[in-house]
Structure 1
């Protein structure tokens, strides 16, 4: 325990990267699961093995050491203040802005109205579920759970879309919604958590004002930083410098947003779209384009590996009782139903415009995977029984999402691409 607590930040990072590399190699050579799913499974399996060793070999205290190690990493801070900015920027670089413009209204509705609808429906249903189970959780905290579980994870979604022949228009819609609903979800979560912690009455008008301020400010920061980077890249032809400029946009832009309470995730998605389209097309030579895109693909792959390994290892930190396990399992259909309604509501408005067909609807619902962002938000909750309850429910939903939805959404995409009325023409909408 003492040795664990004395680890430096570099030591902690080194341990995680080494474990991620070893498990990734084993998965690639022997298990051959999709990368995200394989690392989550192997991380969770490692956690279970360590727990069993502690249970049957007294005195080892391995789980305690791993728990202390994971606590030192501070999952929430690591993801929300570090990894998330890189992941969203890297994901946005590969979204086709021309296709995204065609479905901009769908992305706007799904990433704003959809998140709000999901927050309310999941929060209300979770309040009824916990009440029926005799678990006393105030309604505002149930809404906090609805907010943290509503954003879909762009890492999971984009990774799956890359492997299958998803039509460009639908891919841009799914990717765009996933990128922007993170920013919206974080803002809604922050507003609701503040009301829950302070005990102040939640004001819808004040919440909307804060939402508009943070999200709008994030968009402006993303446009400004992306444009400055675009002009700088256009004036030089030196791949190392242009990679450094893109890195400065991510780190500087996100730090600026954090200090001024603006939506950093939204800013990074906007900046990534701008540089990934205008910058790649008009400001980079072929050599620079190759270096910049490969650099960010490597960053994405590295952080992706670390992120889902940590999700699997979090089993050790979460003390899950039988009652919380039942609650977590029951929360899975609640979240799926909330997603179906949250996507279906905006689709009533989108259907006459022909923006999303039935095949697209099914991909949006089942492909709306939850991942590290939801886990990080749950870990950011203040310590106590409510945190433990919400964290356990979140973990079950995320584990189901990654292992079951992530493993089957590819087959759904293939089926929609082949099937008659759900054929590729409709899916492309």
Structure 2
């Protein structure tokens, strides 16, 4: 029956992408999410079994690879410092501040480690629905590059941090800051190294054949092969797929045949990406009845609000600390980057992983996390365009 379900989800996704002409005001992922919530009350769809492996091992490598491959190298070079700081130091401070805030607001109903775990799941951003909007409406082109680049890299670093905190939460192990930081950098750098190596290798091999079908096949091998190789060696598969995509894009940019390669590689991946996104966001909605508890809606709103406040504080600290970035990013830009930090597929994958690894211990956290993800998609997504236009007018 799962084949029929997937087919119907793809059909619904096609209809939504085709019909939704006002994607600026009603981004497709938000529409798909709401449709998915409706489908969750239909037995045919509510019986779908969604697992961490399904999202993490099948869908994410392709999405991460294509977002990295399509990310403009020029934008990465210009903003590499900001993206790196936000995805490492900024990520760690966000988790610590948000986790601490959640712990105090919970009035000790949650443990401190449990609060940190919620924060680590809600820290990854998924701006797939808003990056194109930002590129069209913001008068600062760096905003879209920073939002997209930060999301691309912190998907990997957030998983590393989540894994460390989840292990402490599930096993009741003691927390050692030094050991945690060493593990964080070992897993992150290991994933980057494997991805860069595989991306470089494929960029050399891809020139040995002029058949476009085989070159596309090789890009699929790179997307998934780098991910699985890194996971096999105990390092970040997510960062491996991301760095592999960036390396391939950069190396192809050094050849005179760049346009030929990109034309058909883009044509393939631009079909795959919306197909996967349609299924993923519909699945997030379908999981509504399994993970959301209406009785916790008040606390969910508080956590959602705290996530925005903490993100703004961390971003302001990073951008205003360095004189160069202070001039490049105004307060309106910081506010827009804050609001564009929407939760999505990575947060859901981590939530499902936590639910699978420790159902009993995860139970008190799941509804809070899932509800915050839903609020982020439903509230933040449709307001990105009007906020962007408003700030652009104010800065002109």
Of the candidates 365, 374, 389, which is equivalent to residue 390 of structure 1? 365
Equivalent residue runs for 1:188-203 within 5 Å: 188-203=161-176
Aligned partners of 1:370 and 1:398 also within 8 Å: yes
Please say which of residues 380-389 and 119-128 is displaced more in the overlay: 380-389
1:110 is aligned to: 86
Go from structure 1 to structure 2 and tell me whether the alpha carbon gap of 1:73 and 1:183 turns closer, same or farther (over 3 Å shift).
Answer: same
| Displacement after TM superposition at 1:347 (Å) | 1.6
Please say which of residues 20-29 and 142-151 is displaced more in the overlay: 20-29
Aligned partners of 2:16 and 2:32 also within 8 Å: no
Go from structure 1 to structure 2 and tell me whether the alpha carbon gap of 1:232 and 1:199 turns closer, same or farther (over 3 Å shift).
Answer: same
RMSD of aligned Cα (Å): 2.2
Report the Cα distance in structure 2 between the residues aligned to 1:163 and 1:273, rounded to whole angstroms.
23
Report the Cα distance in structure 1 between the residues aligned to 2:221 and 2:139, rounded to whole angstroms.
32
Aligned partners of 1:96 and 1:277 also within 8 Å: no
CA offsets, 1:377-421, max 9 Å, x none?
1121144454233221122221121122111111222222222xx
CA offsets, 1:86-118, max 9 Å, x none?
111111122111222122111111111111111
2:9 is aligned to: 19
Of the candidates 170, 195, 202, which is equivalent to residue 229 of structure 1? 202
Are 2:113 and 1:120 aligned?
no
Q: Which runs of 5+ in 2 are unaligned?
A: none
Report the Cα distance in structure 2 between the residues aligned to 1:25 and 1:42, rounded to whole angstroms.
12
Are 2:226 and 1:253 aligned?
yes
Q: Which runs of 5+ in 1 are unaligned?
A: 1-6, 51-61, 424-429
Please say which of residues 237-246 and 354-363 is displaced more in the overlay: 354-363
Query: Could you state the TM-score of these two structures normalised by the residue count of structure 2?
Result: 0.91
Are 2:105 and 1:97 aligned?
no
2:33 is aligned to: 40
User: Secondary structure of 1:282's match?
Assistant: coil
Query: Could you state the TM-score of these two structures normalised by the residue count of structure 1?
Result: 0.84
Of the candidates 303, 309, 328, which is equivalent to residue 300 of structure 2? 328
Go from structure 1 to structure 2 and tell me whether the alpha carbon gap of 1:407 and 1:154 turns closer, same or farther (over 3 Å shift).
Answer: closer
| Displacement after TM superposition at 1:298 (Å) | 1.1
Are 2:132 and 1:142 aligned?
no
Of the two structures, which has the highest relative contact order with CA contacts closer than 8 Å and spacing of 6 or more?
2
Go from structure 1 to structure 2 and tell me whether the alpha carbon gap of 1:23 and 1:31 turns closer, same or farther (over 3 Å shift).
Answer: farther
| Displacement after TM superposition at 1:258 (Å) | 1.1
Go from structure 1 to structure 2 and tell me whether the alpha carbon gap of 1:351 and 1:79 turns closer, same or farther (over 3 Å shift).
Answer: farther
Aligned partners of 2:134 and 2:143 also within 8 Å: no
Go from structure 1 to structure 2 and tell me whether the alpha carbon gap of 1:151 and 1:171 turns closer, same or farther (over 3 Å shift).
Answer: same
Report the Cα distance in structure 2 between the residues aligned to 1:152 and 1:391, rounded to whole angstroms.
18
CA offsets, 1:287-317, max 9 Å, x none?
4321101111111111111111011111121
CA offsets, 1:361-387, max 9 Å, x none?
122100001012112211211444542
CA offsets, 1:346-365, max 9 Å, x none?
12323444343323212210
Go from structure 1 to structure 2 and tell me whether the alpha carbon gap of 1:254 and 1:120 turns closer, same or farther (over 3 Å shift).
Answer: same
Would you say how many aligned residue pairs link Structure 1 and Structure 2? 390
Report the Cα distance in structure 1 between the residues aligned to 2:342 and 2:20, rounded to whole angstroms.
26
| Displacement after TM superposition at 1:66 (Å) | 4.2
Of the candidates 336, 361, 368, which is equivalent to residue 363 of structure 1? 336
